[in-house]
Structure 1
């Protein structure tokens, strides 16, 4: 493995992780709800109107945050190496996984693990293992 030391940004990554934890913690303290992004988005698309404004505000913050970041430094370049079709397929698979797994990385990995949820630990181990296996297969078995 080669580390790209020029583009290695541990302090920015640490600050981003701390902000995610702070936002998730504030959301649960102020609203009594877990800040799982797929659950928040799914509930906005449902007929239930309870808590809709704070859910929408939280999700809107996900889109506004990069614009605020642009005030201080340019955003990293986004590069799709496999094309739009594989990106759409990956998005579909992630969407299906969040429905069957009753949550996403933010709900299980950030909020669930911090609450010591066994269900979230199993879910997080499952999607992390699936990610590791997928990268191994794609990088070492299919390319080789």
Structure 2
């Protein structure tokens, strides 16, 4: 069972929102992780510098938190490695077909009241719910 952490969750959500607002205000860019990563992969976009800095910060900030506080988030997945790899590949296909990910559409697009992002986020959430139901109740879990 996952531990209920409302204050840590609220703080994390606020930091994600702050990062999205600052990136839009300072660079006029959407904080969609798939787009940011796509811009540093070959051939890299002309503006790859801020993209690399954003990703380094996304990895360095939790590493710094762990180094300074010793606090770690326990992680255990009941799914085996093949399931995780398959899920990651399906997410990659979905991100490509949906022209973005949950951070771009769900956080940034919905905040801008983008109809396309609202439709994409509703589709993500419905697909997630259906997938969990099918895997856990029709296929017997992982």
TM-score by length of 2: 0.92
- Alignment correspondent of 2:116: 119
2:12 is aligned, of 6, 9, 16, to 16
**What is the aligned residue count?**
140
Matches of 1:16 and 1:107, distance apart in 2: 17
Question: 2:102 is matched with which residue?
Answer: 105
- 2:73 corresponds in structure 1 to 76
1:1-144 paired onto structure 2 within 5 Å: 7-70=3-66, 71-143=68-140
The C-alpha deviation readout for 1:62-88, integer Å capped at 9, x for no partner, is: 111211221224211111211111000
CA–CA distance in 2 between the matches of 1:38 and 1:67? 21
Unmatched tracts of structure 2, length 5 or more: none
Structure 1 gaps of 5+ residues are none
Decide which moves more: 21-30 or 39-48: 39-48
**3-state SS of the aligned residue for 2:91?**
helix
* C-alpha separation in 2, matches of 1:48 and 1:86: 30
Q: Distance in 2 between matches of 1:68 and 1:14?
A: 20
Question: Per-residue deviation at 1:48?
Answer: 4.7
TM-score (normalizing by structure 1): 0.91
